[in-house]
Structure 1
């Protein structure tokens, strides 16, 4: 029996391998400069899953060729800088691309498609250009209770996506536009009840769920198309119950969103999981629940995340892609939990001097991952300066590690921020090596390392909120053990 199982397993691998065919992507780009042409697979989770990518070799004549093996069809994303273009790849297909760097991702010509999907996508991008410019302006209006056209504009965007892309291999961008519209709709509930006395949030929520149902938002196809699965919709749905305003009333209006999510996590999470009742299939439920549990693992101490994590592994064992992702992520977070060794680094300061984690052994060290474009990062600096003045360098050192992609921008930031603690340059955005090793999902991101070089706190302290209380307790405990 054992040999038969092994034979069947080997046979299944052989059959899978035999179905794989070479898929070729080649073409020309008129100019690339210092950028790279990168092809990324869409990961199972937008923030915590590993990203698999390939960098194209572009010749001096601006020609590129790439081959991969596929056994089915899928969308992969072609990146130049932070701009992306979706490529529909099928097993055995050959695509020839012509790219205009100055207008990318518009005007990409793709020879090899069965139909003119490349033209439809360019037409869609052109059609929504003005809408994309208006959306941020209308978003600001909704936050302050002004009359706005945000929902009309976002509805127009998904109608254009339907016109150009529904029924094509690029239909995910139609589903994505629907999700964006529904997130804007649910966000409007929070603000409208804040500014309009007679506004009925219960009625508004019911209307949005009805609209979501009519647009098939809670289906597996739709949820997979969203940037963050169900996370964004569930997050803003939870906010419509006034939890943020209640916490701010108790703790003060300066409390950041990060801290509100920490303080009121259980209450917020109770509302988030209500959205799961609207899933249209077990496939959709498995996908949605996986996202919410991943967020819980990433945002809360593991002992709080463990029950729901273990329950998911048991109840959804028939979804091995999701369970394996959660197992890997849980293991990753556990490896950087309090008590584990701090991640070593070797990074330069503004003068080119190299600093390592070992250089600061014997004192507490707060690692601050930040970038100049991150407003919450900047808002913490005045509080961090106060903390830096209140403790000696024998007790506490702060080390800034910049995720800024452009080192010149980092230098300019340092020149006007006047930060007194060591500042090191990591670069590479969220791909910065030390940040990734700590499993960082966003910034600001803080790690407190103890004098023995072990992680003392993992991204649950902030200078503007709880740092002093937490640190004083740790410092007192450390001093008692060393006396």
Structure 2
């Protein structure tokens, strides 16, 4: 159904270029393409958009989804396309959106040199405060949040009013899980967190949740529903929260494992891989 609707909206878009709602119309069909992997008109779209069009800003992420969901397209082909567009696009916001996508791509690939390069380019371009802050955050993470570096200071209060800090947990591992009750991908991680939480004594490992939510009641209700018994710290400012910024969290779920000496041991693992790696590290340390 989305494919049919997207084709209709795309036809309307072509016939009504310059419409006052052009950006909304464009983002609607390109989002549906991303949801379905529908690529029938992809080449036509590439030919239609001028290099100075602000519509590229609305296309980047959705087209990335399209390439990932279409079995006939290679995700790497989209990265190559972005590198081509990087030298053509002139709209600062669109170019910054492109660089954001490439930064995240190379971050997943572990290519810190490319991450640093694009972060600096975004800061220099200065298209908006958001993109500048994103670039600064990536540089901060490269300089201060790598495995083997001391974790940022954490001093807070749980939603039940109990003080908590990394210093107070010295001598044991601390697994920090950043999440939100509104976050769909966070839910499948809960059983794995339970496994880790229940596998070790409190003097070996503690799990601390950092919830990006608006109020305590929402978090408590979610905890009860999903039987989450580990302590939670609330960040009502969401992605502007103090701890969220300290650990440069740009999306959830996200995790950090802090060692008994306060040093970052590993990060951003999920599912069974997270359970296996955390279990290995803790068991080896205390054997």
Compute the TM-score of the two structures, normalised by the length of structure 2.
Answer: 0.79
2:115 aligned with 1:321 = no
User: Which fold has the larger relative contact order, with Cα–Cα distance below 8 Å and residues 6 or more apart in sequence?
Assistant: 2
2:23 aligned with 1:175 = yes
2:66 aligned with 1:236 = yes
- The 1:337–1:308 alpha-carbon spacing in structure 2 relative to 1, beyond 3 Å, is closer
- The 1:160–1:374 alpha-carbon spacing in structure 2 relative to 1, beyond 3 Å, is farther
2:36 aligned with 1:188 = yes
Deviations 1:359-381, CA, capped at 9 Å, x for gaps: 21111111111121112212211
The answer for the alignment partner of 1:468 in structure 2 is: 275
2:31·2:62 contact (CA, 8 Å) conserved in 1? yes
Q: Distance in 2 between the 1:280 and 1:223 partners?
A: 14
The answer for the alignment partner of 1:122 in structure 2 is: none
1:219·1:279 contact (CA, 8 Å) conserved in 2? no
The answer for the alignment partner of 1:365 in structure 2 is: 174
- The 1:345–1:183 alpha-carbon spacing in structure 2 relative to 1, beyond 3 Å, is same
1:333 to 135, 141, 148: 141
- The 1:150–1:363 alpha-carbon spacing in structure 2 relative to 1, beyond 3 Å, is same
The answer for the alignment partner of 2:257 in structure 1 is: 448
Deviations 1:28-69, CA, capped at 9 Å, x for gaps: xxxxxxxxxxxxxxxxxxxxxxxxxxxxxxxxxxxxxxxxxx
Give the 3-state SS of the residue equivalent to 1:453 in structure 2: coil
Q: Distance in 2 between the 1:423 and 1:288 partners?
A: 33
The answer for the alignment partner of 1:152 in structure 2 is: 8
Deviations 1:241-271, CA, capped at 9 Å, x for gaps: 368xxxxxxxxxxxxxxxxxxxxxxx73x22
Compute the TM-score of the two structures, normalised by the length of structure 1.
Answer: 0.50
Q: Distance in 1 between the 2:16 and 2:5 partners?
A: 17
The answer for the alignment partner of 1:437 in structure 2 is: 246
Instruction: Let me know the Cα RMSD of the aligned residues.
Output: 3.6
Ranges in structure 1 where 5+ consecutive residues have no aligned partner: 1-137, 143-147, 166-172, 191-200, 244-266
Q: Distance in 1 between the 2:210 and 2:157 partners?
A: 10
TM-superposed CA distance for 1:445, in Å, is 1.3
Ranges in structure 2 where 5+ consecutive residues have no aligned partner: none
User: Which structure has greater strand proportion?
Assistant: 1
Give the 3-state SS of the residue equivalent to 1:478 in structure 2: helix
Give the 3-state SS of the residue equivalent to 1:294 in structure 2: helix
1:238·1:271 contact (CA, 8 Å) conserved in 2? no
The answer for the alignment partner of 1:256 in structure 2 is: none
2:51·2:89 contact (CA, 8 Å) conserved in 1? no
Deviations 1:88-119, CA, capped at 9 Å, x for gaps: xxxxxxxxxxxxxxxxxxxxxxxxxxxxxxxx
TM-superposed CA distance for 1:152, in Å, is 2.8
2:65 aligned with 1:209 = no
2:257·2:264 contact (CA, 8 Å) conserved in 1? yes
Give the 3-state SS of the residue equivalent to 2:55 in structure 1: helix
Give the 3-state SS of the residue equivalent to 1:451 in structure 2: coil
- The 1:440–1:394 alpha-carbon spacing in structure 2 relative to 1, beyond 3 Å, is same
- The 1:478–1:182 alpha-carbon spacing in structure 2 relative to 1, beyond 3 Å, is same
Q: Distance in 1 between the 2:50 and 2:272 partners?
A: 37
State which structure, 1 or 2, has the greater radius of gyration over its C-alpha atoms. Answer: 1
Paired residues, number: 279
- The 1:217–1:455 alpha-carbon spacing in structure 2 relative to 1, beyond 3 Å, is farther
1:458 to 245, 254, 267: 267
2:54 to 216, 221, 226: 221
Q: Distance in 1 between the 2:37 and 2:102 partners?
A: 25
TM-superposed CA distance for 1:273, in Å, is 1.4
Deviations 1:296-318, CA, capped at 9 Å, x for gaps: 355443xx2314744x699x79x
Matches within 5 A, 1:17-416: 149-152=5-8, 162-163=18-19, 165=20, 174-189=22-37, 204=40, 207-214=41-48, 216=49, 219-224=52-57, 226=58, 230-241=60-71, 268=75, 270-276=76-82, 277=84, 281-283=88-90, 287=96, 289-296=98-105, 298-301=107-110, 304-307=111-114, 309-310=116-117, 320-321=124-125, 325=132, 328-334=136-142, 335-416=144-225
Q: Distance in 1 between the 2:26 and 2:68 partners?
A: 19
User: Which structure has greater helix proportion?
Assistant: 2
